[in-house]
Amino acid sequence: IPFFEDICKGIKAGDTCEKLVGYSAVYRVCFGMACFFFIFCLLTLKINNSKSCRAYIHNGNIPGPLALFRPSECFPLVEIVDTDFREAWRYVGAVGGFLFIGIQLLLLVEFAHKWNKNWTAGTASNKLWYASLSLVTLIMYSIATGGLILMAVFYTQKDGCVENKILLGINGGLCLLISAVAISPCVQNRQPHSGLLQSGLISCYVTYLTFSALSSKPVEVVLDQHGKNVTICVPDFGQDLYRDKNLVAGLGTTLLCACILYS
């Protein structure tokens, strides 16, 4: 963005400034989009049917939202330049990200519940549906277990990496816990269609979130026996240092599109 690059050159702040305003630009664009969708939410709140006048804002009047979007996106890009905005927006983004993960998790649970219910109903006419359920559940648990093992191999070492080991231990333990809860008698009595399919899908999702967290975690640098800085607790992919981050981005995009299509 030339506007911010010119500021950095003008104050002679160096490369650090360009990196900082790069993040700042992302925050501003996200803030603009959040403003747009929040206003859009207020305009379409408590609409009971698609024939009401306010429903037309969402269903038919495409130029209207687009016209609102441009000012709401561009205004924070130009006007808000103080450091306090960046700091505040970080916390807003953290809370919003947490809520987004919660909504995504609810969609996954609902999808898995309907999936299990439909395939279980099919067993009345064909017992092969039991085999299909078992196979899919086995695949999901294999993916979750394999993912945790690979992360333990690539993101931990014998000495150090305590935070990574704690993350893997807690999330692996939670996967075992939800699996036990899903087939417990008290849950089965209240939810007869609850089973290992739901917990297997959630275990895969938790494994993905753990992978995302470990790949985004700042690297740890220690001194070796020769007094040189050595990076630990990250996978060694040769020259491609961002391969794990690219994989996380691809998986996240796929998951996001699937949830949007399902919703």
166: confidence class by pLDDT, cuts 50, 70, 90: very high
Task: Summarize the confidence of residues 100-105 as an average pLDDT.
Answer: 86
Poorest-pLDDT segment among 14-18, 119-123, 136-140, 238-242? 238-242
Distance between first and last Cα of the chain: 35
Poorest-pLDDT segment among 64-68, 96-100, 241-245? 64-68
**How does DSSP classify residue 81?**
-
> Is-contact 179 199, C-beta < 8 A?
yes
Burial label for 210, CB within 10 Å (0-12, 13-18, 19+), is: buried
> Is-contact 113 193, C-beta < 8 A?
yes
Q: Which two tokens stand for residue 58?
A: 């969402």
Question: How confident is the model at residue 152, as a pLDDT?
Answer: 92
Q: Of 80, 83, 102, which is closest to residue 28 (Cα–Cα)?
A: 80
Q: Which residue has the higher pLDDT, 88 or 12?
A: 88
Would you call 107 helix, strand, or coil by DSSP? Answer: helix
pLDDT at residue 241 is higher than 60: no
pLDDT at residue 171 is higher than 90: yes
For the chain, percent of residues with pLDDT exceeding 70: 78
239: confidence class by pLDDT, cuts 50, 70, 90: very low
> Is-contact 94 250, C-beta < 8 A?
no
Q: How far apart are CA 137 and CA 154, in angstroms?
A: 26
Task: Summarize the confidence of residues 43-58 as an average pLDDT.
Answer: 81
Name the strand (E) or helix (H) holding 135.
Answer: helix 128-154
